[in-house]
Amino acid sequence: MTIFGDEYSFLMAQMKENKITAFGTAPVFLTAISTILGAILFLRFGIAVGTLGYLGVFFIIILGHLVTIPTALAISEIATNQKVEGGGEYFLISRSFGLNIGATIGVALFFSQAISVAFYVIAFTEAFQPMIHWFYDNFGIILPKRAISLTAMGILSLLILTKGANMGVKALYIIVGILFFSLAMFFVGKTGYVPEKTSMWLLFEFRNSDDFFIIFAIIFPAFTGMTAGVGLSGDLKKPGKSIPLGTITATMSGLIVYMFITWKLASSASPEDLISDQLIMSRIAWMGWLIIPMGLAASTISSAIGSVMVAPRTLQALALDSTFPSEKVNRVMAKGKRFTNEPFNAAVITCLIAFVFVAMGDVDAVAKIISMFFMVTYGTLCLISFLYHFGSDPSYRPKFKSRWYISLVGFVMSVWLMFKMNTPYAFLAIVLMIGLYNLIAYYNRDRKGLQFIFKGALFQLNRTIQVYLQQSVSIRSQQAWRPSVVCLSKDSQIRSDAFHLLNWIAYKHGFGTYIHLMEGYYSRASHQDSVQILQDLKDKFGKLSTNVYLDTLISPSYTSAIAQIIQLPGISGMENNMIMFEYERGDTASLQRIIENVQLVKAGNYDTLILESSGKPMNYKNGIHVWLRSADYDNDNMMILLSYIMTAHPDWRKGKIKIFSIVNKDDAARIKEEMFRMMETGRIPVSRTNIEVIPHDENVSSKKVINKYSATAGLTMIGFNAERLRHSGPDVFSGYDELGNILFVNASNPKDIQ
C-alpha cells in the first residue's frame, strides 16, 4: 500500500461525490484525434509524399498503424477489465505490471507528454510563417520564432493553470472544428497540376526506397496520440465505455484521413513542389493562404492543450503512488486544487519543462525523443494485453476483447521500429529505462518488481509444461481463485463424462488431474496393470485437445484413496483445491460411498463436485443451467465462475449460461436486479434474457421446478449443503430424473467474483 493510497481513494470518491468527473466520450475522441491530426500532417506529409510517392507513404501509414491499432485495442481491453482512475496509461500499466514497472514507464511517459507540449507549441509558430514574411517584406522587421513560441507557451500555461481541464475540453470543441474545416477546404481545393501519367493507378508509385525509414521516423509521430484521451481517465463518467469508443474511433478516423490526404497531395502537386514547400497544402486548399495556417494553428494548439491536460495528471498519479524518493516531493506533486483535485502543482512542473524545450526550438530533435518513449509505452501496453491472454487468468474478463496475436504484433512492431527509426536513440531509451527502474526499485523495495510482469504467463507456461512432462513442481498459488481439480473414478473404462467435465474446466482457466482408482494392494502385478491402464487412458483420450493430467492410483479402499489424494501436491504449480466424484444415476452403492467420504474431503478444506451421469446424450447448444438457492447460497459464486470457465471450451461455443433462482415472490424484483448488477460488474457474459427469477410456490417442490426448466439443458449445476447431506443422505441428490447430467457443487468457502 502506498503512503498516498488512502488519500488517492478519498480524492477519487470526493470527485465523484461532487460530480467533477463529468466528461463523456467526446473529450476522449477530441483529445486523441486532435493529437493524431497534428503538426506532422501540415508540415511534413508533403515532403514524405514527394520523396517516396503515394505507395511509399501508403506503406508508412500501414506500418505505423500496425503499432497504433494494436495499442488502441490493447488499451481499450485493459481499460474495460478494471476500474480506471486518474493517471491514464500510467494507471493501466502500473495496475497490470506492478507499481515499480508502472512508475518507470510512467516517468518516461510524463516527460514524453510534457515535451510534446513544447513540440506542438514550436510547430504552432510555423502557422505564423506567412505573417513573418509579410512583416519582413513590408517593414524589414524580422520576427523571431522563439518570441512567438514562448509567448504562446506563456498564454497556454496561464490558461491551463487558471482554468484547468474544463477550459481545455471546451477549447477542443472549437479548435477541432477549425481543424476539420481546414481539411475540408484542402480536399475541395484544386491546382493546375496535371500528373504526367494519366492513369490514376500510376500515381501509386514507390520512389527512393532507401529513404523509407528516414521518412518513417519523421512521419510516425503523426500517428501517435491515439492514447492521449486516456489521460483523462480520472475525469470521465464511464471510462470503461468512453476510453474504447473514443480511442478506437479516433485511431480509425486518423487512418482514413491520412489515406485520403496522401492521395490528394500526390494528385495535386509535383514531387519537387511537395519537397520544397513545407506548407504545400496552402497552395492546394481553397483560400489556402488563410485556411491552412489556421488549420495548422488549430491542430498544433489542440494537441498542445491535450498534452498539457494529460501530462500533469500522469505526474499527479505517480506522486500519489509514492514514486519519488522524497515524501515531501510526492506530497507537493500530488496536491491538487480543493474540491476539483485539478493537478495544479504538477501542471506548473509540466509547463516549466515545456518552456525549456520550447527555448530549444528544434522540432525534429524533440520529435525523436518523443517517438522513442511513446514506442516504449505502446509496446508495453501491447505486451500487457498479450501476457494477460497467454496467462488466461479467469479474473481477466474485459468487456472489450482484442486478440492475443494482434497485441503480439503491436509489441514486436514497436520494438523493431524503435531500432529502425534511430538505433542510438533506441539503445539510449532502453538504458535510461533500466537505470530509472533500478532507481525506483531501490527506493521502493517492498513493491512488486519485474517478476510480477510474467506471473500469469509463467503460470500458464508452467501448467502446459507440467501436463506435457507429467512432473510435479511446487510453487505458490496465485491470488486470484481458479479451480485445480482432482477427479477420482473407478469406472474410467466404462464412461468418460467425468473426464470431459474435467477437460472443460482445465481447457483454459483451470487445472485438472484425472485419477483412475484401482482398489487393492500395491504389488508388482498391480503396478504392471496400472501402467497398462494408464496407457489405455492416454490412447482413449489422447486424440482430444486436453490439458488434463492422467494418472492411476492403487489403494486398498475408496476412503484411503481419498485420504492420499487430498495430501498430494498439485501438478499444476498450485495446490489442489477441489475434489470431483462421479457416479451413474441409479447406482446407489457408489453414491452412498461418495456421501460417506464428503466429510473427509471437507476436513481438508476442499471444494466438492459430484457428477451424476444420466446416460442421456448431451446437447451443448442448450447450454449450462445454474440454479441458485437460498439454502446453499455459499455455492452461488463458485457455480457461476465454474460455468464461465467451462464455456471457454469449444464444445460450448454455441451454448449459453442460464442462471435461475427460486426466491420469495416479494423479493423477486430486487434479487433479479442484484443478479443483473452482479453479472455486469463481474463481467460474466450472461445476458439479461438468460437470468430468470422464479417466485417460490409452497405447493411445488424446488426439484419439480428444476426438472421443468432444465430438462433439456446440456449440463445442470445445483449446489448442495454438507450439513443437510449429513442428515438427509442420498435424498439430496434424488428426484432429478428428468434432467441430463448434473453437477452438484459444494464450496468450502464463498468465492469472490472480482
Q: What is the pLDDT of residues 64-102, one digit of tens each?
A: 899 989 988 888 887 777 666 656 677 777 777 677 778
The rounded mean pLDDT for the chain is 79
Handedness of CA 508, 510, 511, 515 (dihedral sign): negative
Give the pLDDT mean for 479-485.
76
Beta sheet of 657-663, edge-to-edge order: 548-555, 511-519, 484-489, 578-584, 607-613, 742-746, 715-719, 624-629, 657-663, 691-695
Smallest CA-to-CA distance from 499 within 647, 406, 613 is with 613
At 729 the pLDDT is 86
Q: Are 226 and 258 in contact (CB under 8 A)?
A: no
692 bridge partner residues: 660
Rounded Cα gap, residues 172 and 40, in angstroms: 19
DSSP code string of 376-433: HHHHHHHHHHHHHHHHT-TT---SS---HHHHHHHHHHHHHHHHHH-HHHHHHHHHHH
End-to-end CA distance of the chain: 19
Q: Which helix (H) or strand (E) holds 76?
A: helix 45-79
Q: Quick check: 408 and 383 in contact, CB under 8 A? A: no
Of 741 and 398, the structure prediction assigns the larger pLDDT to 741
pLDDT top residue among 611 and 448:
611
What pLDDT is recorded for position 12?
A: 44
pLDDT band at 459 (very low <50, low <70, confident <90, very high): low
Query: Which helix or strand (DSSP H or E) is residue 5 part of?
Result: helix 5-17
CA gap 244, 72 in Å, rounded = 8
Question: Residue 251 is placed in which grid cell?
Answer: 485511431
- DSSP 3-state assignment of 555? strand
pTM: 0.63
User: Using an 8 Å Cβ cutoff, are 133 and 279 in contact?
Assistant: no
Name the pLDDT band for 750 (thresholds 50, 70, 90). confident
What letter would DSSP give residue 90? H
- The pLDDT tens digits of the residues spanning 233-249 come to 666 777 777 888 888 89
Cα angle 681, 682, 688 (rounded to 5 degrees) comes to: 75
What would the grid cell of residue 67 be? Answer: 503499432
Amino acid 472: pLDDT: 42
Q: CA-to-CA distance for 88 and 229, rounded, in angstroms?
A: 8
pLDDT, position 17: 43
How far CA 572 is from CA of 211, 461, 561, in Å, comes to: 52, 10, 20
- 1, pLDDT greater than 60: no
Distance in angstroms (rounded) separating the CA atoms of residues 299 and 244: 23
Angstrom distance (rounded) from CA 368 to CA 353: 17
pLDDT of residue 466: 58
Helix/strand/coil for 692: strand
Rg (CA), the chain: 32
Say which amino acid occupies 520. Answer: G
Range 614-754: architecture per CATH: 3-Layer(aba) Sandwich (3.40)
Q: What are phi and psi of 622, to 5 degrees?
A: -85, 0
Residues 255, 64: Cα–Cα separation, whole Å? 10
201 strand-pairing partners: none
Strands 742-746 and 607-613: antiparallel
Instruction: Identify the residue whose cell numbers are 492475443.
Output: 404
Fold match between domain 26-391+402-450 and domain 480-610: no
Higher-pLDDT residue of 85, 625 = 625
Distance CA 742, CA 614 (A): 8
Contact 53, 266 (CB under 8 A): yes
CA-closest candidate to residue 304, choices 421, 133, 157: 157
Q: Are 180 and 9 in contact (CB under 8 A)?
A: no
Instruction: Report the C-alpha gap between 259 and 487 in whole angstroms.
Output: 58
d(CA 647, CA 659): 14
CATH architecture under which domain 26-391+402-450 falls: Up-down Bundle (1.20)
Q: Return the amino acid letter for 423.
A: T
Task: Provide the CB-side half-sphere exposure for 672 (13 A, CA).
Answer: 16
Is the pLDDT at 347 greater than 80? The verdict is: yes
What's the longest Cα–Cα distance across the chain? Answer: 109
Give 259-312 pLDDT, tens digit per residue: 999 988 888 888 888 888 877 888 888 888 788 888 888 877 777 777 787 788
Hey, CA dihedral for 139, 141, 145, 147, is it positive or negative? Answer: negative
In 3-state terms, what secondary structure has residue 454? coil
Cell numbers for 561? 484413496
Which CATH architecture fits 480-610? 3-Layer(aba) Sandwich (3.40)
Beta-bridge partners for 746: 608
Interval 609-631 mean pLDDT: 87
**Whether the predicted pLDDT of 605 surpasses 70:** yes
Residue 22 is predicted with a pLDDT of: 55
| Residues 522-575 pLDDT 10s | 888 989 988 988 888 888 887 676 778 888 988 888 889 888 888 876 665 567
CB neighbours of 62 closer than 8 A, spacing ≥ 6? Answer: none
Q: What is the DSSP letter of 446?
A: T
Torsion sign (Cα): 240, 241, 243, 244: positive
Residue range 492-512, pLDDT digits in tens = 888 888 888 998 988 888 888
Look at residue 49 and tell me whether its pLDDT is greater than 70.
yes
Question: Would you mind telling me the total number of residues written for the chain in this entry?
Answer: 754
Report the Cα 567 to chain-centroid distance in Å: 38
Distance, CA of 227 to CA of 250 (rounded, Å): 9
Q: Residue 166's pLDDT band (boundaries 50, 70, 90)?
A: low
Give the DSSP letter of residue 740: S
Give dist(CA 731, CA 133) in Å, integer: 95
Q: How many CA atoms lie within 13 A of 481 on its CB side?
A: 18
Q: At CA 714, angle to CA 709 and CA 716, rounded to 5?
A: 55
Strand ranges in 630-689 using DSSP code E only, listed in sequence order:
657-663
- Span 640-667, average pLDDT: 86
pLDDT at residue number 477: 41
C-alpha cell, 211 = 529513404
Q: What residue spans define the domains of the chain? A: 26-391+402-450, 480-610, 614-754
203-235 per-position pLDDT tens digit:
567 888 888 888 887 788 788 777 776 666 666
